[in-house]
Structure 1
Amino acid sequence: MRHAHTVEQVRAAEAELAGQPLMDRAVAGLAATCARLLRERRGRVYGSRVLVLAGSGDNGGDALFAGAALARRGAAVSAVLLSPEKAHRAALAALRATGGQVTTDQNVGLADFARADLILDGIVGIGGRSGLRPAAAPYATAPRTGLLVAVDLPSGVDADTGEVAGAALRADLTVTFGTHKPGLLIDPGAGHAGPVQLVPIGLRPPAAPVQALQHADLAALLPRPGAESDKYRRGVLGVRAGSERYPGAAQLVVAGALHGGAGAVRYLGRPGAEVVRRHPEVLLGDGRVQAWVVGPGSGEATVEALDATLAAEVPVLVDADGLTELARRGPGALAGRTAPTLLTPHTGEAARLLGGAATAERCAAARLRTARELADRYGATVLLKGSTTVVARPDGTARVNPTGTSWLATAGSGDVLAGLAGALLAAGLDPFDAASAAAYLHGLAGRLAAAGGNRLPFGSVHSTVGDRGEAPVTARQVAAALPAAWRNATAPQGGSQQDAAGLGD
């Protein structure tokens, strides 16, 4: 499990270790990573051109000290000071002692920015708010050919939320210290961070408010049938989805459930004959279920379907048309439920659920805030779909999903996810675990389908726009890839390879 802590938690953990060489540990890890990148890019550190963008305080100090370490190995290091009066004095002296050049002229800095082999972004640390000050903003759009390494966090990204309110630097790699920060895991901040490497410095923070599953965590969550299992013990999922206008939604929900481990699927809906023709395993009509999915493509039957489903004393997943109807009714519609509820909106549906001034764009720009607000307001677990899928509980605890591909933005993909999450609910997982595991597995399946095989290339777990070797996929292909994704996540030899690929620990 990756754990992400707030700025307040990090500061408190650092204060408990006052007197220990935290900066020395951070700088050593940062300098070693930069040296490795230069060797990979140019074959050696000696003679490489390195630029340090140094802001105020310890973040700028980390960058300057790392620059001094690279200068001692023969790199030509220059630094541009964005807050000269607040520059870290000891770090600045260390860089000058190694022959490093220092300037406050931003024209010189921008020229060096364009030709450097490696740039260290130490403008703003985790204590800064979202968006760069005007003096630093030109670096966010200036041309460059070298690698940009963010020190702890890309400047301009909010550490606690991932929100980007203005200009922000976009890193090729972020080296973060002590623990992950939520803003490194959640878009749009995650898109500015690139791969993340964690340098341990000895912090002992409390329980993390934001988490991200890894392969081993998923494997521990996924249900396994035992010797005495039958379809009822494995979990029967009830599905109220699809309509005469949208029969495909029903088929895709059922496909996600069947390929996602359901012992059986019981379908109640108008295109029943078409569903059984495609999936002869399906049971039709009323009967015993352990969880329900309601809403995908339910069209004119939505009101009746939602009423019947919310009255059931089993976990319920509400999606698509069901969410639109729930938004019309408001949070009070869930007030009387004693069984768990899982809501799975995209940002447009989230805006309707929140009402008021909420828009899809605002929800997308503040994913963590949106998911938490929805969970609190509706008293339900929320899976907010998007470039970063966020799962939140009413108590504010959240998980972010690191898997997936932009090719999953295709019609019906959400229906498959709903069926998969519903199957895990029926198997007995609580909504937080079911939603987290479903999002992770769905992302892996998308990658497998896009890669065209049963094996993921090294480094491909985490979402990247325009990855080479991937091609467009359909929702049916994603559903069909779920068993292979399940095997990939639970194979003893698979987890370490895939976990090493993206967000580093």
Structure 2
Amino acid sequence: MMRPVLAVGSDGCLAAHTAEAIQAAVARTLEGRRSDTLLRRAAAALAGVCVDVLRDRRGAVYGSRVVLLVGTGHNGADALLAGALLRRRGVTVDAVLVGDKAYQPGVDTVRAAGGSLVDATTIAGRERALQALAVADLMVDGIIGDQGVGGLRGVAADLVAAMPDGPAVVAVDLPSGVDPDSGEIHGAHVRADVTVTFGTFKGCLMIAPACYAAGRIEFVDVGFADQLDAEPLALRLTPGGIAELWPVPAETDHKYSRGVLGVVAGSDTYPGAAVLACLGAVRAGVGIVRYVGPRRVADHVLSATPEIVPGPARVQAWLLGSGVEDDADQERAIDTALASGLPCVVDAGALEVCARRRAAGDRPAPSTRILLTPHAGEAARIFAALGHDVARTAIEDRPLHHVTWLAREVDATVLLKGSTTLVANPEGPVFSQNDGPVWLATAGSGDVLAGIAGALMAAGLDAVHAGAMAASVHGLAAAKASAGGPASAAVTTTAIAPTVADLLRLRPGARRGRVSRSRWPGSR
């Protein structure tokens, strides 16, 4: 069974778990303890974040107005206890109760601290709640926690619709109304500026589209992480984790031992795809790139990267399909590469042929040596080629569902490109990386990403970690290149090497040397 290369919960790898796993861990933690132990820890941290947000937005805490939207579960309890702490800082607190009951000790504590309690289930209470929202400086979403399913309804939906745009929103654990595990959204939900999450990450905080409703994530360890015994739902490599895994040449390495990548890319219509893919690979540190494609495209490639070697020869991994269109020679080269059993990054023009072959059982390489890199539209075309009618919008609405389905269907690793990129293998947890600016969505960006992934697979990394690392470095390089503004794919390639250098500074004293090809990098 696949295992993460870094210890879950270490500085190098963040983990998200299912709601069921989290609830079980909390129950085990509370055995023999006071039932409010975790609540009070969480409330203190939540109040601290609210104080920081108020200072940032208003410049002061005293005299601020905070509205708590309080549901019937633990998130509502956290909000109430945090509200009482805010009252002691001179904050006016209106606790709006949106259900038929609330955490009674929290209700009593808010009342004793001088806070206002509003029952929004009554007509008069709803009017008071709307008035409080209209003058709030900060709103705390404690409506529904990790047991919620589907969008908000009734009073909760009405109040969320009435939340003004100006004040900041701090969500407790997750934005109410999103699916806690899948990250799907089916109806009314909260859009937070900050989400304070406790103990571990929830799947929805790493998976689109829900992660876009969460805003900035503030993680608080309240003391139950050591009771999590279930496999993670999703993993995310941190910069430190990428630094630990990045292949660094030893003094005895040479250009062949650093990895030889064959690239079948580009066409007369899309010559730039080959240029960008090769640039991505070279600037990510591959030893040699051998280019296979039309002479005119090869001239473009050599002009941009004169170190490229044109023509077929022995390689250690392949990058296939970027910009390929109606070229019999390249199609034969792709077929040969897919039949070789060597690691392959499969992009654009090679996606459908690879998917058909593997779905039909033609699998000379295991799933950890094949990385497909579609965006949502290309994924929809792959599904169509396999006989499934799946719209692009459906994939964008349910990316976790579709990337795992496609990975199982073709028995390969699938990198589904997007603002949040998911990397799935049939036998392991999904990796989620979200490191790039919004400017990254530009022509040629995917070709650069494929080049980085190809360099890593030529250096010996498996498809899962090569995909996650490439997605992260690609995003970080785009952020460095853009400096907050637009960045083209070509400009992004210039920042790859400096980005890797920045990452490698995070591992001072680390043992140098190329990642072993005989096993998964970092496997224990």
Q: Could you tell me whether the CA contact under 8 Å between 1:52 and 1:63 is conserved in 2?
A: yes
Aligned pairs (5 A) from 1:394-409: 394-409=426-441
Match of 1:440 in 2: 472
Matched, 1:264 2:288: yes
Deviation, 1:307, is 1.1
Change beyond 3 A, Cα 1:234–1:116:
same
Matched, 1:239 2:251: no
The root-mean-square deviation of aligned C-alpha atoms, in Å, is 1.8
Q: Could you tell me whether the CA contact under 8 Å between 2:264 and 2:292 is conserved in 1?
A: yes
Matched, 1:79 2:95: yes
Secondary structure of the structure 2 residue equivalent to 1:14:
helix
Aligned pairs (5 A) from 1:282-431: 282-301=308-327, 303-327=331-355, 331-332=359-360, 334-338=362-366, 340-355=369-384, 356-431=388-463
Q: Could you tell me whether the CA contact under 8 Å between 1:326 and 1:353 is conserved in 2?
A: no
Between 1:198-207 and 1:433-442, the stretch displaced more is: 198-207
Query: 2-side partners of 1:178 and 1:55: how far apart?
Result: 20
Deviation, 1:65, is 1.2
Q: Could you tell me whether the CA contact under 8 Å between 1:115 and 1:145 is conserved in 2?
A: no
Q: Could you tell me whether the CA contact under 8 Å between 1:252 and 1:412 is conserved in 2?
A: yes
Deviations 1:55-105 (A, max 9, x none): 11211111111111111222111111110x222122111111112111222
Match of 2:105 in 1: 90
Letter in 2 for 1:13: A
Between 1:394-403 and 1:297-306, the stretch displaced more is: 297-306
Q: Could you tell me whether the CA contact under 8 Å between 1:243 and 1:299 is conserved in 2?
A: yes
Query: 2-side partners of 1:68 and 1:481: how far apart?
Result: 48
Deviation, 1:235, is 0.2
Query: 2-side partners of 1:71 and 1:471: how far apart?
Result: 41
Deviation, 1:49, is 0.6
Deviation, 1:208, is 2.2
Aligned pairs (5 A) from 1:144-155: 144-155=165-176
Match of 1:115 in 2: 135
Aligned pairs (5 A) from 1:24-43: 24-43=40-59
Query: 1-side partners of 2:293 and 2:159: how far apart?
Result: 56
TM-score with structure 2 length normalisation?
Answer: 0.87
Matched, 1:124 2:144: yes
Letter in 1 for 2:427: D
Secondary structure of the structure 2 residue equivalent to 1:216:
helix
Match of 2:242 in 1: 218
Change beyond 3 A, Cα 1:160–1:226:
same
Between 1:99-108 and 1:265-274, the stretch displaced more is: 99-108
Q: Could you tell me whether the CA contact under 8 Å between 1:209 and 1:396 is conserved in 2?
A: no
Give structure 2 stretches of 5+ with no counterpart: 1-12, 509-524
Match of 1:276 in 2: 302
Between 1:439-448 and 1:41-50, the stretch displaced more is: 41-50
Match of 1:467 in 2: none
Deviation, 1:353, is 2.1
Q: Could you tell me whether the CA contact under 8 Å between 1:212 and 1:401 is conserved in 2?
A: yes
Deviation, 1:300, is 0.6
Secondary structure of the structure 2 residue equivalent to 1:66:
helix
TM-score with structure 1 length normalisation?
Answer: 0.90
Query: 2-side partners of 1:334 and 1:482: how far apart?
Result: 35
Query: 2-side partners of 1:338 and 1:89: how far apart?
Result: 55
Letter in 2 for 1:101: S
Match of 2:77 in 1: 61
Letter in 2 for 1:252: L
Deviations 1:114-154 (A, max 9, x none): 21111110011111013111322234443242211000101
Deviation, 1:417, is 0.5
Q: Could you tell me whether the CA contact under 8 Å between 1:154 and 1:192 is conserved in 2?
A: yes
Query: 1-side partners of 2:356 and 2:365: how far apart?
Result: 18
Q: Could you tell me whether the CA contact under 8 Å between 2:376 and 2:396 is conserved in 1?
A: yes
Query: 2-side partners of 1:5 and 1:378: how far apart?
Result: 26
Give structure 1 stretches of 5+ with no counterpart: 452-469, 495-505
Q: Could you tell me whether the CA contact under 8 Å between 2:65 and 2:91 is conserved in 1?
A: yes
